[in-house]
């Protein structure tokens, strides 16, 4: 792997994780790790271009159908692909089909860029991860195998102790906080070969006194009402939080800082 490479363009492909949900900007849009990463890369390379095709709620079939060919046609230096985790969280999930679709995505994207980046997605501690852990780890085994076969890089977020901390996750318990997104950007940055800006991104935050029993129950009730029940409702009706939403950066254009 080249040290401190010069990349002129980045295209991000995926779902809400890559869209940047829960890293909310003052104007109501989301930033996220991919925007943070693009900003760092742009600071090193004048004229750096960036596209983010990710849309919340997308399953791996939708990512293949709606994003993969678009990303491949852009012929960027770097493509990041994170997908399939939404599938593993569905009550009924055909893991053979998920692996096949992920393979199709990688086979189409790898030849179209100088460097493809895959990820082992982070997981929050709790009963949801415990229930779906076998599927997640099956997905990540496929990621590792595909990366080796196609020369892709793998960012291991699943194995990072810092990102399993519930404090790194928003109140919906599905999406990272701004600090979580910052650490993911750092992880991808280092995996691409750049000098670290934060050598401790894997290190957990200092321990704090856990909330008492009543506070936890109140938080659980609020979470169930505001996030869990709507999520279950969408699953039962076949709807998605991303239905009808376009990508936030559909074209490969010079990077502009969304906070500027």
Q: What is the pLDDT of residues 92-102, one digit of tens each?
A: 899 999 999 99
* Nearest residue to 12 via CA among 109, 123, 157: 109
Which structural domains are found in the chain, ordered by start?
Answer: 9-205+247-254 (3.40.50.1110)
The residue with tokens 């906080």 is 177
How far is CA 189 from each of CA 31, 32, 33, 41, rounded to the nearest angstrom? 16, 14, 10, 9
pLDDT tens digits, residue range 42-54?
Answer: 999 999 999 999 9
> Which stretch of 8-12, 145-149, 223-227 has the lowest confidence by average pLDDT?
223-227
Percent of the chain surpassing pLDDT 70? 82
Report the pLDDT value the prediction gives residue 26, as an integer from 0 to 100.
Answer: 87
Report the pLDDT value the prediction gives residue 217, as an integer from 0 to 100.
Answer: 64
* Nearest residue to 74 via CA among 45, 53, 103, 57: 53
How far is CA 183 from each of CA 8, 155, 160, 169, rounded to the nearest angstrom? 22, 12, 10, 12
Report the C-alpha gap between 149 and 143 in whole angstroms: 10
**Joined tokens for residue 33:** 């790790």
Strands (E), the chain: 9-14, 49-52, 78-82, 115-120, 153-156, 249-254
Helix axes 178-191, 33-44, angle to 10 degrees: 50
pLDDT of 124 over the 70 cut: no
Q: What is the pTM of this model?
A: 0.86
| Residue predicted with more confidence, 243 or 90 | 90
Report the C-alpha gap between 55 and 71 in whole angstroms: 14
Helix, strand, or coil (residue 253): strand
CB environment 67-94: b (16+ within 10 A), e (fewer): bbebbbebebbbbbbbbbbbbbbeeebe
Report the C-alpha gap between 172 and 63 in whole angstroms: 23
pLDDT of 2 over the 90 cut: no
Q: How confident is the model at residue 1 (pLDDT cuts 50, 70, 90)?
A: low
pLDDT of 169 over the 90 cut: no
């Amino acid at each position: 792997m080249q040290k401190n490479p010069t990349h002129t363009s980045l295209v991000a492909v995926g779902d809400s994780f890559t869209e940047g949900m829960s890293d909310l900007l003052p104007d109501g849009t989301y930033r996220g790790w991919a925007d943070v990463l693009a900003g760092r890369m742009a600071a090193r390379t004048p004229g750096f271009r960036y596209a983010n095709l990710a849309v919340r709620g997308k399953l791996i079939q939708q990512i293949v159908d709606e994003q993969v060919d678009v990303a491949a046609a852009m012929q960027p230096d770097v493509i990041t692909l994170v997908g399939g985790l939404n599938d593993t969280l569905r009550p009924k999930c055909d893991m053979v089909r998920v692996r096949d679709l992920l393979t199709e995505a990688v086979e189409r994207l790898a030849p179209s860029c100088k460097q493809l980046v895959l990820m082992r997605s982070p997981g929050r501690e709790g009963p949801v991860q415990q229930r779906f852990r076998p599927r997640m780890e099956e997905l990540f085994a496929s990621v590792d195998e595909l990366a080796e076969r196609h020369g892709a890089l793998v960012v291991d977020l699943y194995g990072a102790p810092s990102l399993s901390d519930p404090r790194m996750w928003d109140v919906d318990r599905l999406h990272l906080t701004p600090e979580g997104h910052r650490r993911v950007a750092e992880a991808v940055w280092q995996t691409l070969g750049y000098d670290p800006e934060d050598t401790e991104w894997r290190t957990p935050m200092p321990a704090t006194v856990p909330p008492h029993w009543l506070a936890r129950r109140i938080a659980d009730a609020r979470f169930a009402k505001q996030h869990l029940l709507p999520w279950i409702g969408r699953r039962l009706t076949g709807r998605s939080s991303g239905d009808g939403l376009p990508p936030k950066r559909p074209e490969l254009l010079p990077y502009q800082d969304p906070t500027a």
